[in-house]
């Protein structure tokens, strides 16, 4: 979806362009019409002046006194011309010289306005008017060179276009600055939300315009409510687990009584059931803690965490003389719960160290989220068992100590982050585990 800034900028730019285009068209046609009206009015006055100076002699011939005519009609190609037409004769102004001006004959009382071509290809605006005088009907056509008018129009349009272009540029700059200023609170809120998403802050700044302040206030309220509920839920689950484990301890103590020892089968059944219940409690506590993660956590330094885990595992598996090599790309950052990623890496690395000969390799990179790859040089896993590794209680080799919950817990954590957990044979001969977590973001 397009941003508000883009929508406002595009909308205002289109509106500004339409207004300026309309203004340009209005000015162009208005100036042209205004000048044309002035020229036409002048030409009409000239036809009436010619009519006043026009006489018909006793022989019926048209006569115009040169002394009464404007000097423009006497000078060749002056730009002002006339033609007087009757059925018998046509009179031309001297300014036409030998050019035959094409005129439009009209009836008495009729006026016609036209654009014609004059001598030397001059653009002319002509007014033809029909009159009846001294018993004869005739047409007087007066034409004027409008090249000056067209030149003035072009100059005006050019200057207006230049001024308009500069004005548009200034208005666009002003518009961009105004939109940036108006949307600055939204940009601040956006930065606050990004910080909240990566865990740098636990609430957003509510100092914002009235339109978005209720939204930010409600977001802070919900965030705080989720933190409180998560804390209470985990505390309650911890209390419940403590009480249940206390009761299991009592059951085991009952099983150690002499009266029960006399029945080894019953005693063994009690031990098996209490151990099964203990595993269920541990598993469900892990699931509850994972599902209880509802808020983004602070960025976790994976390199530091892997270094600490490596030191711990080297102490646990001293007899193997482990060589744990790890590499974390510089742009990697996990923005989830620290306990989640620590438990995930801890279980996977513990599993790899348990089965490897000597070497374990770990790499972390950003590929459509956080990608973690763990390889070991152990015996690997049967193909039929790969799909069962995450099942609760499943153990590929019963000779190794463990509860079979580690990979199941890892699967729950990965699933809670909408990620993927993949198993395949490693190039080193052991098992390769690949984890993709979608809820992590690069710096």
3-state secondary structure string across 109-162: CCEEEEEEECHHHCEEEEEEEEEEECCEEEEEEEEEECHHHHHHHHHHHHHHHH
Residue 259: pLDDT over 80 = no
- Could you identify the residue written with the tokens 């982050």? 417
> What confidence score (pLDDT) does residue 289 get?
56
pLDDT band at 384 (very low <50, low <70, confident <90, very high): low
Residue (of 154, 160, 168, 145) closest to 80 by Cα position: 145
pLDDT band at 60 (very low <50, low <70, confident <90, very high): low
Residue 182: pLDDT over 50 = yes
pLDDT band at 389 (very low <50, low <70, confident <90, very high): low
Residue (of 302, 352, 374) closest to 331 by Cα position: 302
Query: Would you call 242 exposed, middle or buried from its count of C-beta atoms within 10 A (0-12, 13-18, 19+)?
Result: exposed
Q: pTM (2 decimals)? A: 0.43
pLDDT band at 294 (very low <50, low <70, confident <90, very high): very low
- Could you identify the residue written with the tokens 């309220």? 221
CA distance 214 to 206: 8
Kind plus residue range of the DSSP H or E element containing 15: helix 4-53
Model confidence over 330-340: pLDDT tens digits?
Answer: 888 777 777 78
Residue (of 254, 234, 279) closest to 392 by Cα position: 279
Model confidence over 75-106: pLDDT tens digits?
Answer: 888 888 988 888 778 888 888 888 888 888 88
């Amino acid at each position: 979806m397009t941003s508000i800034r883009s929508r406002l900028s595009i909308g205002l730019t289109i509106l500004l362009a339409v207004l300026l285009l309309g203004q340009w068209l209005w000015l162009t046609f208005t100036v042209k019409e205004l000048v044309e009206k002035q020229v036409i009015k002048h030409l009409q006055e000239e036809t009436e002046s010619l009519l006043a100076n026009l006489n018909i002699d006793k022989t019926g011939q048209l006569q115009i006194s040169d002394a009464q005519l404007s000097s423009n009609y006497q000078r060749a190609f002056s730009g002002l011309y006339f033609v007087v037409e009757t059925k018998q004769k046509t009179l031309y102004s001297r300014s036409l010289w030998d050019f035959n001006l094409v005129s439009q004959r009209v009836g008495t009382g009729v006026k016609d306005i036209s654009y014609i071509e004059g001598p030397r290809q001059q653009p002319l605006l002509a007014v033809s008017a029909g009159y009846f005088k001294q018993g004869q009907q005739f047409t007087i056509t007066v034409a004027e060179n409008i090249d000056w008018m067209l030149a003035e129009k072009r100059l005006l349009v050019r200057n207006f276009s230049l001024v308009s272009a500069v004005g548009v540029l200034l208005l666009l700059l002003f518009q961009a600055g105004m939109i940036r200023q108006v949307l600055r609170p939204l940009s601040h809120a956006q930065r606050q939300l990004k910080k909240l998403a990566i865990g740098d802050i636990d609430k957003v700044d509510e100092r914002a315009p009235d339109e978005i302040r209720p939204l930010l206030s409600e977001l802070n309220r919900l965030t705080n409510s989720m933190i409180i509920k998560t804390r209470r839920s985990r505390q309650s689950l911890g209390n419940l687990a403590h009480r249940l484990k206390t009761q299991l301890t009592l059951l085991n103590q009952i099983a150690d009584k002499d009266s029960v020892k006399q029945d080894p089968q019953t005693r063994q059944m009690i031990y098996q059931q209490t151990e099964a219940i203990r595993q269920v409690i541990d598993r469900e506590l892990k699931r509850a803690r994972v599902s209880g993660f509802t808020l983004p956590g602070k960025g976790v330094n994976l390199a530091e965490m892997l270094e600490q885990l490596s030191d711990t595992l080297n102490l646990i598996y001293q007899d193997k003389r482990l060589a744990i090599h790890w590499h974390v790309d510089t742009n990697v950052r996990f923005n989830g719960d620290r306990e989640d990623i620590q438990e995930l890496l801890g279980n996977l690395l513990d599993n790899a160290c348990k089965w490897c000969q000597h070497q374990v390799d770990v790499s972390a990179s950003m590929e459509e989220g956080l990608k973690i790859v763990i390889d070991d040089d152990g015996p690997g896993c049967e193909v039929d068992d790969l799909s069962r590794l995450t099942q609760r209680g499943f153990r590929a080799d019963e000779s190794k100590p463990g509860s079979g919950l580690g990979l199941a817990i890892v699967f729950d954590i990965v699933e809670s982050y909408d990620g993927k957990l993949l198993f395949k044979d490693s190039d080193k001969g052991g098992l390769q585990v690949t984890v993709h977590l979608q809820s992590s973001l690069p710096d």
